[in-house]
Amino acid sequence: MLKIIAAVLLMTLLAVTIAWACPTSPDCPVHDQPMYFAGRTKVVNGHVFALYRCPLGDSYWVRCD
Ligand SMILES: [Zn+2]
């Protein structure tokens, strides 16, 4: 049980670290507004993507590497 908790904590830390490596505040391509990090990352075909949200409600996966 402790091992599972440690693994989850490690993955969370890793996700946060990756998020910090992303370009800061990309602009929304539709509304031209600075977006903010939504706290989610994913890996597709070996590339890291972070979810960014626009203040007007839409969201985009931004490639980080
Ligand atoms: Zn937008």
Residue-wise pLDDT for 17-61, tens only, equals: 555 556 567 899 999 999 998 989 999 999 989 999 999 999 999
At 3 the pLDDT is 78
Spacing, Cα 41 to ligand 1 middle (Å)? 19
- Could you tell me the distance, in angstroms and rounded to a whole number, from the CA of residue 25 to the centre of ligand 1? 12
CA 44 to chain centre: 13
pLDDT at 8 over 90: no
Distance of CA 31 to the CA centre of its chain: 20
Spatial distance between the Cα atoms of 45 and 58, rounded to a whole number of angstroms? 24
pLDDT given at position 1: 80
Give me the residue spans of the domains in the chain: 2-63
For residue 53, the surrounding DSSP H or E stretch is: strand 47-53
Ligand 1 centroid to Cα of residue 26, in Å, is: 11
Residue 13 scores a pLDDT above 70: no
- Answer with the residue of higher pLDDT: 4 or 31: 31
pLDDT at 16: 57
Residues 8 and 34: their CA atoms lie apart, in Å, by 31
